[in-house]
Amino acid sequence: MKIRFVFIFVIALASCHVVGNKRLVGNWELIEFRLVGQGGDPVSDEEILRKAGAVWDLKFVADGKFSQEFNMRTPSMKMEIEEGSWKTANDSLIIDLQLDSGVSKLNYTYKFENDILILTLSNLQSKSSIITRFRKK
C-alpha cells in the first residue's frame, strides 16, 4: 500500500512538471520590466516599453530548445538573438544560453498569473531582482 501511494505521488508530481512545461511552450513578448532593490524600484510597463521601441521575445520549444530576441542591452537598441536550452524544476526555470565564451546559466523563478508569465531573476550579492512579465503571442 505504501509503495502504491509513493508511486501515485511520483506520477502526480511528474504530471505537474509536464503541465508547467506545456504552458511555457510557445512565443512570449515582454509587457513589463521591473528592477527591484536598487532604490526607487523603476517599472517600465507595456506602454513605456513600446514607446521606447524595446523588444524582448522568448521562444520555448517542447523539445527543450530556447531562443530570445531582444534589443535592451545596448543604448543603440541593436537587436540580438541568443539560443540555448531550457528546463523546469519545481518553480525554477533554468535556461542555458550558448554564448561565444561558453554557456551562461540563468536560474529564474517562474509563475503564471492567468495568461501572464512572470520571471524573476535575483542577484544575491546585490540583493536586487529583475521581475519581468510576458504575454503569449
pLDDT, mean of each 10-residue run, the chain (137 residues): 36 39 93 85 89 96 96 92 95 94 94 96 83 96
Dist. CA 28–CA 115, nearest whole Å: 11
CATH 3.30.465.10 is right for the domain spanning 2-136 = no
Helix (H) or strand (E) holding 65: strand 65-70
Dist. CA 84–CA 3, nearest whole Å: 38
Q: What pLDDT score was predicted for residue 14?
A: 38
Dist. CA 92–CA 10, nearest whole Å: 18
Enter the pTM of the model.
0.80
Domain ranges of the chain: 2-136
C-alpha cell of residue 33: 520590466
Q: What pLDDT score was predicted for residue 17?
A: 40
Residue 64 per-residue DSSP state:
S
